[in-house]
Structure 1
Amino acid sequence: MAEKKEQGVLSFFMNYSWYRKYLLPGFVAQSVIIAGGYGTGRELVEYFLQYGPTGGLMGMGLTTILWAALFALSFEFARAFKAYDYRTFFEKLIGPGWIAYEAAFIVLLFLIMGVIGAASGSILRDSFGLPPIVGSGLFLIFVAYLTYSGSKAIEVALSWWSYVLYAVYIIFLYFGFTRFGGVIASNFSAGVVNPGWAMGGFKYAFYNIAIVSTVLFTLNYLETRKEAIISGIIAAIICILPAFLFYIVMAGFYPEALSMEVPATGAIAKLGVRFLLPIWLIVLFGTMIETGVGFFHSINERINATLIKKRGKGMSNTARGIVGATLALIGLAISKFGLIGLIAQGYGTISWVFFILQGVALFTIGIYKLYKLSKTKS
């Protein structure tokens, strides 16, 4: 009885169609993006804060606009062509070019998993004195379990962890304002805008463009073009809001934050709130699991769609779990052999591949194909 009640609580919001249409895609995207996007704060420094508090805020606004356009168009394309896995999506968009996209996507996946694999062990080691194998093992177990559980469980897990994450960010913002509110206001009122803020916002938007592929499995609830566009805009806001809350506090430590190796822990240390650091690190560890699950589930959905087409039967839960565990193990192995630096050198190139195959293609070929499809139906 207690178990049924708990399941009912966890899936309470999931039963509402408005939630599945307008909030779920954004929560999944935000859950996947944070570990590699702004969990440590270093990314916010590199792409925004280095251009000055005001300049970075302007860049963040540009990123939000680009994300809103990208998500809205992607969601509508997926809905119109019923493309809920990345292979189907890019076959419909760029035909045989989908193979190039998949190659870049897999390289990106292992790059991110290598970084996360290394960090997952070090977080629990540095924070709680546990051997690195404990953190890596927990990462592997949770990833395998969630990928085994399938889409519904992943939807619930990623959504509810987002609520936890938002709560922690709001607490972080509260202590930031109560202790450094005057400095934050002063730094923004100075109006520092360094050259390059627009390029920073542009790069950050497309640095994370592949995140769309991890959200496709949630889009089958969308029924109309209006719903897809609204959902895409909301998803952009959901994704950028935690970064915005984080950025506001970090602006209070400008320009010192520019030299912080891990700005998140540096800022928390300066706030002097002891309980916040372990909570932050636990939440960050959870976001790493979410990022892994999001990418691995995209691979599973791509395999599943292919199997259904070929034999009329998709993947079993066991097969999903095995794929998730295997990919996680490869990521952990990469983190041990020092390949991160080598792969990272080509990361900028991969980002440009995504920009061309996904960004440029969507706003040219994608719009044309949507127009052609609508003319056919009318």
Structure 2
Amino acid sequence: MKGFVDRYLSPGFVLMSVMIGGGFATGREIVQYGGQYGYKGWIVGLTIALTFSALCVISFEVARKFQVFDYRSHLKVYAGPLAHVYDIIFFIQSLLVMSVMASATGDILQKTMNFPYYVGVLVIIVISALLSFFGQQLIEKFAVAGAVALYIGYITFAILAIYGRTDNIARVFAEGDTSYVSGELGIFSLIWVGILYVGFNVQPLTTAFFTCEKFKNRREAMVSGFIAGFIIIIPWVLTYLALMAYYPDENVFGAGVPWLIMMMNVHPIVVIIFGVIAGWTLVATTVGVMNAMTSRIDKQLAENDKPPLKARTRTLITTAYLVGAILMSRFGIIALVDKGYTAMAIGMVVSFILPLITVGAYKAFVKK
């Protein structure tokens, strides 16, 4: 059973544990990329699931076939000079995602537990730094255990948000309600929204490459990749359905943290639990991203015949990066998601997705 989990489920859980912070935790992301389109949002969700599965299948097989388990080595297989562009975007997007999460977590812990804003964020910094210090093996265990806990949490939150409001969900789909947005919503526009969502969430995929060392053959890489695409879409679906229970309520859809508004309508205890889980998602995202970044630095050092980073240095890098994200977070979560995510998504499509699905797919499945 452990072997099955390691090879087929662990990559998807690691990916989801990193992605959930920037992609799901606040609910703002799903409003922007799916929820605001009402009943037509399902088209966005299906696009996300299929696109992510395809990207996981190709990238996992590239990792297995060429034995490249850090993102720098991985991109060198197929991206050429665009690998340097990806480096820049990775750095900026990591800072952006953690800024969004820091802003959300600080606000949530303040509103749910009466923590001063920076005290709540300081707790997150300390936990993230400790996990970075103890290394990759602990990170993988934390990610898998955390992903299971987050799944349970999000399923619970979705049920609580939907309970007593299923009539509104039925109404949205029966009436074809898209009233929160104006203008015609063509299918290709919605597919593009899904691709953009994948674009700004594809970075966590590179943080899961280290789990691909366990694959013994192409079949394991492909099956694991396909499963991973659908593991990560479940929180999207749960959040989308919860939002449809309130569609098109401006109090929810105009909020910086829509989940918090929905949970406040349930019970104060639930709000506190949500605060704890939101903090957990920031830790998971931060640790996963920083592990990918420091692994990339280690690879560069090895190529220059220098020793890898010490645990203390990894911890200092993680701490400094989080402090920068916290300072940036004061710009406000809605502005960060609205402006920053779209720009970063386009950059990721150009520097990572297009080279992967063309040159990467050819080298992985066609070239001997």
Cα-to-partner distance string for 1:283-321 (whole Å, 9 max, x where unaligned): 011101111111111111111222333337433322222
In the aligned structure 2, how far is the partner of 1:303 from the partner of 1:286?
26
Letter in 1 for 2:309: M
**Structure 2 residue 227 is matched with structure 1 residue 234:** yes
* Residues 316-325 or 39-48, more deviating: 316-325
For structure 1, which runs of at least 5 residues remain unmatched after alignment?
Answer: 1-12
Letter in 2 for 1:366: G
User: 2:288 maps to what in 1?
Assistant: 294
In the aligned structure 2, how far is the partner of 1:240 from the partner of 1:209?
13
Which of residues 203, 207, 223 in structure 2 aligns to 1:214?
Answer: 207
Q: 1:367: Cα distance to partner?
A: 1.9
Q: 1:98: Cα distance to partner?
A: 1.4
In the aligned structure 2, how far is the partner of 1:201 from the partner of 1:330?
29
User: 1:6 maps to what in 2?
Assistant: none
The answer as to whether partners of 2:34 and 2:41 remain within 8 angstroms in 1 is yes
Aligned length: 358
Q: 1:207: Cα distance to partner?
A: 2.3
Which of residues 122, 127, 140 in structure 1 aligns to 2:125?
Answer: 140
User: 2:182 maps to what in 1?
Assistant: none
Aligned in 2, Cα 1:157/1:90: closer, same or farther, shift over 3 Å? same
User: 1:5 maps to what in 2?
Assistant: none
TM-score (norm 1): 0.87
Letter in 1 for 2:231: I
TM-score (norm 2): 0.90
Cα-to-partner distance string for 1:232-279 (whole Å, 9 max, x where unaligned): 111111111012112112211111143344321222233x23321111
Which of residues 294, 306, 316 in structure 1 aligns to 2:310?
Answer: 316
The answer as to whether partners of 2:110 and 2:117 remain within 8 angstroms in 1 is yes
User: 1:7 maps to what in 2?
Assistant: none
In the aligned structure 2, how far is the partner of 1:306 from the partner of 1:20?
28
**Structure 2 residue 354 is matched with structure 1 residue 360:** yes
**Structure 2 residue 264 is matched with structure 1 residue 269:** yes
SS at match of 2:259: helix
Cα-to-partner distance string for 1:334-363 (whole Å, 9 max, x where unaligned): 335889969974543332121012111111
In the aligned structure 1, how far is the partner of 2:164 from the partner of 2:216?
47
The answer as to whether partners of 1:73 and 1:229 remain within 8 angstroms in 2 is yes
**Structure 2 residue 189 is matched with structure 1 residue 204:** no
Aligned in 2, Cα 1:26/1:252: closer, same or farther, shift over 3 Å? same
Q: 1:114: Cα distance to partner?
A: 2.5
In the aligned structure 1, how far is the partner of 2:130 from the partner of 2:240?
33
Aligned in 2, Cα 1:371/1:26: closer, same or farther, shift over 3 Å? closer
Report 1:1-378 matches (<5 A). Answer: 16-53=2-39, 55-192=40-177, 194-195=185-186, 196-256=189-249, 257-270=252-265, 272-311=266-305, 313-335=307-329, 345=339, 347-371=341-365, 373=367, 375=368
In the aligned structure 2, how far is the partner of 1:274 from the partner of 1:281?
11
More contact order relative to length (CA 8 Å, sep ≥ 6): 2
In the aligned structure 2, how far is the partner of 1:367 from the partner of 1:39?
32
The answer as to whether partners of 2:29 and 2:337 remain within 8 angstroms in 1 is no
Aligned in 2, Cα 1:203/1:282: closer, same or farther, shift over 3 Å? same
SS at match of 2:25: coil
In the aligned structure 2, how far is the partner of 1:322 from the partner of 1:188?
50
Please report the RMSD computed on the Cα atoms of aligned residues, expressed in angstroms: 2.3
In the aligned structure 1, how far is the partner of 2:279 from the partner of 2:5?
26
The answer as to whether partners of 1:334 and 1:340 remain within 8 angstroms in 2 is no
In the aligned structure 2, how far is the partner of 1:244 from the partner of 1:59?
10
Aligned in 2, Cα 1:171/1:335: closer, same or farther, shift over 3 Å? closer
Q: 1:77: Cα distance to partner?
A: 1.0
Q: 1:325: Cα distance to partner?
A: 1.7
For structure 2, which runs of at least 5 residues remain unmatched after alignment?
Answer: 179-184
In the aligned structure 1, how far is the partner of 2:116 from the partner of 2:340?
31
* Residues 192-201 or 316-325, more deviating: 192-201
Q: 1:38: Cα distance to partner?
A: 1.7
In the aligned structure 1, how far is the partner of 2:333 from the partner of 2:174?
43
Cα-to-partner distance string for 1:173-227 (whole Å, 9 max, x where unaligned): 3334432223323322334464332222222122212121111121111121111
Identity among equivalent positions (%) equals 29
In the aligned structure 1, how far is the partner of 2:86 from the partner of 2:163?
46
* Residues 80-89 or 306-315, more deviating: 306-315
In the aligned structure 1, how far is the partner of 2:205 from the partner of 2:114?
36
Aligned in 2, Cα 1:73/1:35: closer, same or farther, shift over 3 Å? same
Structure 1 runs of 4+ with >6 Å offset:
337-340
Q: 1:151: Cα distance to partner?
A: 0.9
